[in-house]
Amino acid sequence: MKSFSKMVYPYVLWAVIMIIVPMLMIVLYAFTVEGNDVLTFQFTLNNFSRFFSDPVFPTVLWRSLKMAFFTTVICILIGYPTAYVIARNAPSKQAVMVLLITLPMWINMLVRTYAWRGILSHVHMSGEIKVYIGMVYNFLPFMILQIYTALSKIDPALITAAHDLGADNVQTFRRVTLPLSLSGIVSGITLVFLPAVSSFFIPKFLGGGRYVLIGNLIEDYFISTGDWNFGSAISLIMAIIILISMYVTRKLDRQPAEQEDD
């Protein structure tokens, strides 16, 4: 049996080269001067001071975070009732309903977002609202599926018990169903907020070119401008903010569980 454990070693090597080293490269580029050679690095914090001294960059960052935040909120507000409706159906029907939700996800995101451009060209609305529609459209299924999974795991006996003990529908929902489905909401938040912050083709397709988010900045600095050091610094700032927000979200999930233990 011991011999099987050796089968991990190639992947350990691979993971170091293909996962860890590329991540370190971003950090390295973010803290160095442009045009450095593989062997001679010139360390600097200029990329970061440039980001925060020019009002344009923090504004874009703030806009992206705001947009991702509201996209997530809208996805919860629409996704929760939808997941709830699915979970209230008979199991055989639930499978079909989930299938109906997942089917469109198999079709290329860019293709679906491109189609929205055609649809939304019929209506007059600001680029911002169009970007919101595109974001919610692309990320809502993830939220629905996560919440549905959590809801479908709830033992129906708990609901019956709550009713038997005199709780009305609202109380049952607030004190039993909602806390038990919180884990689904939290994993849904991760799956919506994360891609929403960094999305760059949705604003590009639907925002009419004027609506720039942090992902567009990163793309520009890497593909058009070719200033990789500054682009890396922007990515690093974004990655750190995302890490912190994910950490906070996970805390939210654990707290009620800990209370339950007491």
Under rule CB under 8 A, which residues in 217-236 are in contact with other proteins?
218-219, 222-223, 228, 231-232, 235
Chain mean position to CA 212: 18
Beta bridge partners, 43, equal 32
Out of 61, 65, 75, 101, name the contact with other proteins by CB under 8 A. Answer: 101
Give the per-residue SS3 of 214-253. HHHHHHHHHHHCCCHHHHHHHHHHHHHHHHHHHHHHHHHH
User: In DSSP terms, which residues pair with 32 in a beta bridge?
Assistant: 43
For the bound state, the minimum distance from the C-beta of residue 145 to other proteins, rounded and expressed in Å, comes to: 12
d(CA 161, CA 155): 10
Q: How many CA atoms lie within 13 A of 66 on its CB side?
A: 10
The least distance separating other proteins from the CB of residue 262, rounded to whole angstroms, comes to 28
Report if residue 244 touches other proteins, rule: CB under 8 A: no
The one segment of 40-48, 50-58, 108-116, 253-261 that binds other proteins by CB under 8 A:
108-116
**By three-state DSSP, how is residue 15 classified?**
helix
Phi-psi region of 209 (alpha: psi -120 to 50; beta: other; left: phi over 0): left
Q: Does 48 bind other proteins (CB under 8 A)?
A: no
Query: Is 5 a residue that touches other proteins (CB under 8 A)?
Result: yes
Min CB(21)–other proteins separation in Å: 6
CB of 134 to other proteins, least distance (A): 10
194 binds other proteins (CB under 8 A): yes
Which of 1/165 has CB closer to other proteins?
1
Residues 66-95 interacting with other proteins (rule: CB under 8 A): 78, 81-82, 85-90, 95
How is residue 101 annotated by DSSP? H
Separation of first and last alpha carbons in the chain: 42
Nearer to other proteins, 78 or 128 (CB): 78
**Judged by CB, which is closer to other proteins: 58, or 209?**
209
12 binds other proteins (CB under 8 A): yes
